[in-house]
Structure 1
Amino acid sequence: MEFYGGTEHDVDVVIYGNKLVGAFISENGPTNFPSFRETSATTPSLLPPDRQAQLIVAAFKCCVDIGLSDGIFNVEMKMTASGPKLIEINGRMGDAFLRKWVRRLYGVDLAMCAFMISCDIKPFVPKFQPYERLMGVMLLPSLHSHLVNDSHFRERIKCLQDNGDVLFYMMQEDNLYGSLGVSGTDPDVCREKLLALCNEFGIESDTYKVSNFVRYFRY
């Protein structure tokens, strides 16, 4: 595939009757070269409002132009110097942690929206700016299996979850364990909290530089 410069984004669009009902943008950090697997993410988007609007319109048009008229679709895009560029369209909502993140920030359950649309009911998607920000890093089997399988790690994570200090999401895929996330009022607060956790747990390493993956998440 051709490589596009710029920032990478997931745009989850809600479409009913060929009309855009809502859209949610998240930012992805750099991939762990030479892999193209995403390493980190934050939402809501840090792009200026006009650039966000470009991404949403582009994602929506890409979907309807290929006949996706009703449903929740995850569109991966790059925002380049010359505008949005399509990477891929998934005929489903965003996977992994995105559903939980959107539900926490916006009070919208994408799975419920998909169910309503399948029943020919238009979902309601409120439009407001969340009061908090979420930022997280991915955990990979090739690098972090020793952590995920460690009982002390799990106990510490559960304690932090119970206190509301972290968002931890586990998956059962071969190439991704899940994500470890934090909340905060702005990107700097989130970055400091996330890096402190990654250093505590040993997620930050010479082969997985979380500090590099999240340094671009700035206003």
Structure 2
Amino acid sequence: MNKNSEKMIANLSSDKKCELFDFFLNEYLKGGFGSMNKSDIDVLVYAVLQKSGMDELSDYDASIELGITKQRIRALQEKYSIRYDVIEEDVAIDRFLKKLRHAKIEGAYIDVPIQDIALKNYLEAKLDANDLLLHKQLNSNIFRLRSDDLLSFIDILVPEDQISKEVIAKIIENEGALTNEGINIDVKKGDIKTQLVDVLRKKGPRVAIQILTGLIPGGTVAKTVIDAIASAV
């Protein structure tokens, strides 16, 4: 075993070690003793390592740690995320907020680096279920959104905040003024959300983020999300 792995495991509390032992044994015995094949045992051991602290490592560092290729790490991570790391909404949002610290603007897109397959699966499932277009690119570790998708994405991510309704109410209250730089919406024309999305698309990510930062009410998860993107880019 690599010295770093030995140190990681040695630093675990007795309670954590007992928890991981119970987890391993319960999973191994689910189908009957000896029924788990080598591939499944590898995934189970990988799950124990992830829960021991290896989840903090990049794919490259994990591959060095375990002496296997990055491709195999990704394959293990994919299986692990489906079997042992299906995440709840609050956990997903917390993980996503941490990733937003590293968001960048690339042309018309806001790119968020996400190696966490469980989180990516969660976000992509949200988009797919709500018919919001997922923008693919060559780097599979990048989660990509267009500026005009931001409002819809936040609505999907935290529907309880009812952000679109709050934003439209704020626009009406401001008589259509979106910024102090003369970007406005004609509130008398109706369909305010469609007009807003059109503005966000035409103005691009930086201005879109600025507009939404001013419109989304404080004290909401949605505000935390947009502020995190704004501070990163």
- Larger C-alpha radius of gyration, 1 or 2? 2
TM-score when normalising by structure 2 = 0.29
Which has more strand, going by share of residues?
Answer: 1
Q: Which has the higher helix share?
A: 2
